[in-house]
Amino acid sequence: MANMADIADIADIADIAVIAVIAILFIMAVLFVMATVATVATVATVAIVTIRAVMAVVAVVPVILLLPPSWTETSAVGGPGHHS
């Protein structure tokens, strides 16, 4: 029969190995989550910037269309486009 102390040592080593594997997997999971969050945050930031740029352009277009003709073309009345 094997010595009980030897069996206990083997069990301790096995426990330590299991704990080490679990710890490594946990760290990998945490790093994966952090990387995922960072990626999502980056994509969200790019999307927000893009949406804001599009909204700014969309907001400016109707203003240009609603300007009186004197602002956009030469007019007899005057305005920026008038040359005497």
User: Is residue 74 domain-resident?
Assistant: no
User: Is residue 16 domain-resident?
Assistant: yes
What per-residue confidence (pLDDT) applies to 45?
Answer: 94
Q: Is the Cα dihedral 68, 72, 73, 76 positive or negative?
A: positive
Tens of pLDDT, residue by residue over 7-43, are 677 778 888 889 999 999 999 999 999 999 999 999 9
User: Is residue 73 domain-resident?
Assistant: no
| Number of structural domains found in the chain | 1
Q: How confident is the model at residue 72 (pLDDT cuts 50, 70, 90)?
A: low
User: Is residue 58 domain-resident?
Assistant: yes
What per-residue confidence (pLDDT) applies to 16?
Answer: 87
User: Is residue 83 domain-resident?
Assistant: no
- pTM attached to this predicted model: 0.45
More confident position, 60 or 43: 43
Tell me the residue range of the domain where 22 lies: 4-67
d(CA 48, CA 33): 22
User: Is residue 45 domain-resident?
Assistant: yes
